[in-house]
Amino acid sequence: MWNDFKEFAFKGNIVDLAVAVVIGAAFGKIVSSLVENIITPLIGILVGGIDFTGLKLTVGNAEVTYGIFLQNVFDFIIIAFAIFMALRLLTKLKREKEEEVVEETEEELTVQEELLREIRDLLKEQKNS
């Protein structure tokens, strides 16, 4: 049972997932700080000094702080967009790297392989004629 647990816990996917969660949490804090301290005040300036977190509706003794909800929705949108852009960049870099690998393998043909390709192409031309 212990060996099964060790195999499960130390598989690459589990460790990768744990690292991703920790990095994601740290990245979320950075983006939240960006939204709270830079983007939200700038939007507040653009719309006449409105602070989202201060928006609330008071009915009797109850306060509905919908501004905090709007701020959290805004944070989510910014975080999701930042993660989307980061993944898009990583995917693009991965594709470029794969293309470079493919190009390198094509250039490493020996003289014999090149001659065989030429013979093959000539035979195809004769067959089609």
pLDDT, position 53? 75
Phi, psi of 55 (to 5 degrees): -70, 125
Burial call 53-85: b when 16+ CB within 10 Å, e when fewer: eeeeeeeeeeeeeebeeebeebbeebbeebeee
Distance between CA atoms of residues 50 and 29, nearest Å = 23
Written as tens digits, the pLDDT of the chain (129 aa) is 778 777 766 666 777 778 888 888 888 788 778 777 887 777 777 767 666 777 888 888 998 988 888 878 877 787 777 778 878 888 888 888 777 766 555 567 788 888 888 999 999 999 887
Enumerate the domain spans of the chain: 2-102
pLDDT, position 12? 62
Q: Model's pTM, two decimal places?
A: 0.45
Q: Which CATH number fits domain 2-102: 1.10.1200.120, 1.10.10.10, 2.30.31.20, 3.20.20.220?
A: 1.10.1200.120
